[in-house]
Chains A and B, each alone.
Chain A
Amino acid sequence: MSTVKLTVNGKAVAVDVEDRTLLVQLLRDHLNLTGTHVGCDTSQCGACVVHMDGRAVKSCTMLAGQADGASITTIEGIAKGDELHPMQAAFRDNHGLQCGYCTPGMIMSAIDIVHRHGGQLDEATVRHELEGNICRCTGYHNIVKAVLDAAGRMKVAQAAE
């Protein structure tokens, strides 16, 4: 057992876990943050994507101990109260989700994509960048639309800040 100290969605937490505990297990089983999902166990599907120190990581593929001292943001931590993150709003407005299972990971990856590319996103880039996130419902059509829409909204939001 080890104590892992980290910040999750802005809150400092210390959790005693078995050394083999994965970050996703710490989030889901110990902190009850069940918005982060497990879809494949092999780092392919991206349902488990969270942000660690601002970068997208697959939480099923790293040990909780590797996140010691890090700041983790999950799907539960990106809205400001009742105000959705622009990426969340864009997924809803563009019907970028159906069953919702891949959605948290999609949204967390998509935010990272927009951050890394700034305003320089087009359909081909979004499709290429989504390689690590699998959706079985939407055929990606509306996810791609949502990410492009959100990129515009995030630019506007950034400009306003």
Chain B
Amino acid sequence: MGVEGIGARVVRKEDKRFITGKGRYVDDIKLTGMTHAYFIRSPHAHAKVKGIDSSAALKMPGVVAVLTGKQLVDDKVGNLICGWAITSKDGSPMKMGAWPAMAPETVRFVGQAVAVVIAESKNLARDAAEAVVVDYEELPAVADMQAAIKAGAPQLHPEAPGNQVYDWVIGDEGATDAAFSKAANVVKLDVTNNRLAPNAMEPRAAIADYDAAEEHFTLYTTSQNPHVARLVLSAFYNIAPEHKLRVIAPDVGGGFGSKIFIYPEEMVALWASKKVGRPVKWTGDRTEAFLTDAHGRDHVTHAEMAFDTSNKIIGLKVKTYANFGAYMSLFSSSVPTYLYATLLSGQYNIPAIHAEVIGVYTNTTPVDAYRGAGRPEASYLIERLMETAARQLNVDPAELRRTNFITQFPHQTPVIMAYDTGDFNASLDAAMKAIDYAGFAARKAQAKSQGKLRGIGVSCYIEACGIAPSKAVGSLGAGVGLWESAEVRVNPVGTIEILTGSHSHGQGHETTFCQLVADRLGVPISQVSIVHGDTDKVQFGMGTYGSRSAAVGLTAILKAMEKMESKAKKIAAHALEASEADIVIENGEFKVTGTDKAIALPMVALAAYTAHNLPDGMEPGLKESAFYDPTNFTFPAGAYICELEVDPGTGKTSFINFVAADDFGRLINPMIVEGQVHGGLAQGIGQALLEHAIYDANGQPVTASFMDYAMPRADDLPSFNLSHTTTLCPGNPLGIKGCGEAGAIGASAAVINAITDAIGKNNLEMPATPDRVWRTIHAA
């Protein structure tokens, strides 16, 4: 590797603008004549909208318009869609309740918009919103999943009797029942996977600008996938055809999944901009983020694991209820099915698995992908089960895992996934060494002498990233292909622009993607720029989620680079009067191998564009593009071990050590990979100890600001002890698996396994607040 090539800890190119206050986020953008939107949102979890009186508001200073859900529907703006079709076990399609961007008749969660005020400033819009009178007729609401599926529960959608979205199954029920009938031991566990609010630090925002002369819209938006946004806005929401709609996602302040989806506010801003003939800006505040950003997790599961006499797993049965909230968000249907149940084999040989997932509507904010999306729920369940089993079977939890590890690859699980490669023993060995697992008993005894309860918890996760190939996900119901595109432009002076459909909102693509170019051509990364986030600049792309940007997006760049290099070699060979096969690329030069003859990249580029002396028949220019569709998911895996102490007097948890040994395949920039793991671990630990999006029985959110929802602070977290083991991913030429979500997937179980080890009681739900831990310790 060069100093800036693959594997180098290159300091980020994008940092200068962020550390000097020159980042350009949506809310930083001002357009001439821009108006401001403020949404009027339902204070009720379930109500009929009987009428909206905006006459007083319209007379207030600076008010341009008050627009309602009825007008939106009359203008034929399409309902929000869910882009992954799931079929219930009885063969019926999932039951999708209609979701207009502003509710014309019925609101189904607190925060759902019914109207919008457009005014000269945000303050004036907010003032006027106070004067809009909405006449609601309250309806009975249900926020709890178990209550929602009971007979007689308030019904959300006429399309979905019993509030059921679907009842979906995977695996072989007969084979699983047969395995259980032969079991020497059965371990049972009930777990709740707590609802989380994603809380990217930048609240969502949108600026819509309609050009009446060109009948063209421009949308600046906080999106992880601007092309997908344009596709959906165009194909399903009837905003404008794609060539009349430009979507720009500039600097985006974190996403974690929540900015994948196309939300009502963007749709309304676009529609309103045309209505009022001026640009419309909306910037959400934090409470709006809690009310309207798609939440994550929220499962209730019963699982049973069957073991034979040698402690080998012979079967797994899972029944999960997944809370969808009031509507089906864009990819919500896939999260508790194909992103969750397909990972239920964990790192283990499990010959028979059967899982049933029941999706449930409640009068709460919609739930969709949040960092890990289904895989944290699967990993948490399996790793809590393994720990519970170890305690019940009276074996060391690490040893029980080893007994059951998959060691032969490729490995076909009973739940679709075919793991391509891995070395689970290696990552567990690395983690156990890093934390001195063997010395734990002595440390526990030492802590006990000081009145502290010390515990250790293991979590061996596996996840599936990349989400591909397109043909496979299409056969499972996905409404889109999941490839990525790239374009390499070598300018006439030899500088390079990489256009990518991936989107960076903290991941550091402007650095890591340049590192690939530096690695291949030997040019400094200062000569390379990354262009992304604008549908007018980049042809197409599927965006960034599912830890796909390196494994899929970077591989697309590699494919385009290979095409460009092939052409450039022909030009160089022609100029140097050598054979193309003898040309090698080193330090920014095309060399004839074994000679001192060379031509620098800028001269090759210039030759391509002057076209004065190209090989016969060659087109001028030096620009190539590629679409890359992977052959399989990638399977990052690793072992996390947490050591902590619980104060039995207060229930407070203090970290002693947290070690993570991850196998992400090849690392492009270890510094950035480590940063991704740190952030993921913080979110996983946040789920385990602090975070919980709570509703009361009537669907009123109890946690709708940072004063109520416990975000992890610096003092809540330890420094992390990271290491890597490596098996290269055979599914892509760079051998990359992806690192963006692992921390959030693996951490929660390690923490809860450690606390329950410390306190000697196995049943403890997340978040394990001091109050909850204290009560568990002192329960009879």
**Residue positions of A touching B, CB distance < 8 A:** 18, 20, 28, 32-42, 44-45, 47, 74-76, 79, 84, 88, 91-93, 95, 97-104, 107, 123, 126-128, 130-131, 133-144
Contacts and interface: CB of A to CB of B under 8 A. Distances in A.
Which has the most chain A C-beta neighbours within 10 Å: B15, B202, B285? B15
Contacts of A102: 201, 253
B678 A40 contact: no
Contacts of A20: 123
Given A41-B286, A88-B19, A99 B672 contact: no
Which has the most chain A C-beta neighbours within 10 Å: B18, B19, B506, B681? B19
Given A38-B285, A134-B706, A139-B680, 14 more contacts: A18-B123, A32-B30, A35-B20, A40-B286, A44-B706, A45-B706, A88-B20, A91-B19, A95-B672, A98-B506, A99-B253, A101-B253, A127-B717, A136-B200
B720 A139 contact: yes
What 9 pairs across the A-B complex have the smallest Cβ distances? A35-B21, A101-B253, A100-B18, A139-B682, A99-B506, A98-B506, A75-B21, A44-B706, A139-B678
Contact of B19 (A37, A84, A126, A135): A84
A143 B286 CA distance: 23
13 contacts: A28-B27, A39-B201, A39-B203, A40-B706, A44-B706, A79-B20, A98-B254, A99-B252, A100-B23, A131-B713, A134-B713, A139-B679, A141-B675
B720 A141 contact: yes
B19 A103 contact: yes
Contacts of A34: 21, 24-25, 27-28
Contacts of A143: 714
B675 A142 contact: yes
A127 B715 contact: yes
Given A137-B506, A142-B675, A107 B19 contact: yes
Given A92-B12, A131-B713, A39 B254 contact: no
Contacts of B202: 37, 39, 99, 101
Given A42-B286, A101-B202, A131-B714, A123 B719 contact: yes
A75 B21 CA distance: 6
Nearest to B16: A92
Contacts of B675: 95, 98, 137-138, 141-142
Contacts of B203: 38-39
B508 interface: yes
A35 B678 contact: no
B618 interface: no
B178 to A, nearest CB: 45
Contacts of A18: 123
B714 A100 contact: no
B505 interface: yes
B22 interface: yes
A76 B20 contact: yes
Q: Do most interface residues of chain A lie in helix, strand or loop, or is the interface mixed?
A: loop
Contact of A140 (B25, B674, B705, B714): B714
Contacts of B19: 75, 84, 88, 91-92, 97, 100, 103-104, 107
Interface string B415-458: 00000000000000000000000000000000000000000000
Interface in B653-709: 671-672, 674-675, 678-683, 705-707
Interface in B501-524: 505-508
B276 interface: no
B505 A130 contact: no
Contact of B256 (A134, A136, A141): A136
Nearest to B20: A79
Interface string B247-284: 00001111010000000000000000000000000000
A81 B250 CA distance: 25
A143 B679 CA distance: 11
B500 interface: no
Given A126-B714, A127-B715, A139-B679, A76 B21 contact: yes
B20 A136 contact: no
A126 B508 CA distance: 25
Nearest to B25: A101
B505 A99 contact: yes
Which has the most chain B C-beta neighbours within 10 Å: A33, A34, A102, A128? A34
A136 B25 contact: no
Contacts of B22: 35, 76
Nearest to B709: A44
B256 to A, nearest CB: 7
A138 B203 CA distance: 17
A130 B123 CA distance: 31
Nearest to B705: A42
A93 B19 CA distance: 11
A20 B681 CA distance: 40
Given A93-B11, A95-B11, A44 B18 contact: no
Nearest to A98: B506
B18 A138 contact: no
B187 to A, nearest CB: 32
Contacts of B12: 92, 95
Nearest to A140: B714
A66 B202 CA distance: 26
Contact of B714 (A41, A47, A95, A127): A127
A41 B287 contact: yes
A140 B201 CA distance: 14
A135 B678 contact: no
A126 B713 CA distance: 11
Interface in B1-35: 11-12, 14-25, 27-28, 30
Contacts of B715: 127-128, 130-131
Interface in B84-115: none
A98 to B, nearest CB: 4
Given A40-B286, A140-B682, A140-B714, A134 B671 contact: no
A107 B286 CA distance: 22
Contacts of A40: 286, 705-706
Contacts of B16: 92
B199 interface: yes
B560 interface: no
A79 B16 CA distance: 11
B199 A138 contact: no
Given A136-B679, A139-B681, A139-B720, A103 B18 contact: yes
A36 B506 CA distance: 18
A9 B18 CA distance: 18
A136 B254 contact: yes
Interface string B197-212: 0011111000000000
Given A41-B285, A98-B679, A137-B679, A35 B201 contact: no
Contacts of A32: 30
Interface string B708-725: 000111110101100000
A127 to B, nearest CB: 4
A138 B678 CA distance: 6
Contacts of B507: 98
A75 B506 contact: no
A29 to B, nearest CB: 8
A132 B201 CA distance: 14
Contacts of A107: 19
Nearest to B22: A35
A136 B28 contact: no
B391 to A, nearest CB: 29
Nearest to B9: A95
Contact of B254 (A75, A88, A99, A131): A99
A91 B15 contact: yes
Contacts of A74: 21
Contacts of B707: 42, 44
Nearest to A20: B123
B596 to A, nearest CB: 39
A47 B743 CA distance: 24
B207 to A, nearest CB: 14
A57 B644 CA distance: 35
Contacts of B682: 136, 138-140
B508 A98 contact: yes
